Structure 1
Amino acid sequence: MTVTEKDRDVLARTLWGESRGEGLAGMVAVAWSIRNRVEMDLHNDGKPDWWGEGYTDVCRKPYQFSCWNRNDPNYQFLSGARAIPFRELAQCRIAADQVIDGKVADSTGGATHYYATTMPKAPDWAAKAKRTLKLGHHVFFRDVP
């Protein structure tokens, strides 16, 4: 699969919006959950999956990563309307590149989902998925086969 500069930028911006306070390990874990979606063929049919194809589609799929929702306070930064501080975006880009380039192992155990522990309650989907990791303020899951 070809990964474009836009894919790398969108993944880095998604990491900023979703996990900038989680340190490099937390950002890498979120990036792996996205990469796992990118690489997964949900029905083993070779056809496009509902959450999109490639990093840009997966990250920007409506209602999957809340930072891309137009009503989210992060959206103005992710869309480019406001600038993300250079050093913060650079750290996110490092995490994105490490995961895309396969330079770091998947610490999430194949997770394709996560939620922030700051939410008032766990999302309903979490009851049907296998918990693979708790890291910082995120809990990671993969679907049960």
Structure 2
Amino acid sequence: MTVSEKDRDILARTLWGEARGESLAGQIAVAWTIRNRLNDGKDKSWWGEGYAGVCQKPYEFSCWNRTDPNYEFLIGIKQIQFRELAQARIVADQVIAGKVPDPTSGATHFYASTMSKAPTWVKGAT
């Protein structure tokens, strides 16, 4: 699959918006859930087309919701700190290239265990 510069940038920005407070391993896991959605064989209308389509599918990654405080950073109205975005780009590139193994065993969903209440879809999931 050909990955455009837009796909790479949107994946990195999504990692920043969703996982910048996570460890490197956590950021890699989030990137892999996105890649797993891309490759799970469902029709493109289900998850979206390409990394950008998957990341920006409405209501899938909250950082892209217009009401999310990260949104203005993601679309460039506010500037993301260079170091933070550079880290996210490195993770994105490594996962896109398959240079790091999938620590999620094919997961297509994630949530932070620090959330006060687990999402309803978690029941029965690993």
TM-score, normalized by length of structure 1? Answer: 0.83
| Deviant stretches of 4+, over 6 Å | none
CA shift for structure 1 position 119: 2.4
Aligned counterparts of 2:50 and 2:40: Cα–Cα separation in 1: 10
Matches within 5 A, 1:44-123: 47-123=43-119
Cα deviation digits, residues 20-68 of structure 1 (max 9, x gap): 01121111110000000011112xxxx4241212100000001100000
Contact 1:34 1:112 in 2 (8 A): yes
> Tell me, which stretches of 5 or more residues in structure 1 are unaligned?
132-145
Q: Identity, % of aligned pairs?
A: 67
- Higher RCO by CA contacts (8 Å cutoff, separation 6 or greater): 2
- Greater share of helix: 2
TM-score, normalized by length of structure 2? Answer: 0.95
Aligned to 1:135: none
What SS does the aligned partner of 2:101 have? coil
Matched to 1:15, the amino acid is: L
Choose 30-39 or 115-124, whichever is displaced more: 115-124
- Greater share of strand: 1
Aligned counterparts of 1:114 and 1:69: Cα–Cα separation in 2: 17
Aligned counterparts of 1:93 and 1:121: Cα–Cα separation in 2: 30
Tell me how many residue pairs correspond in the alignment: 126
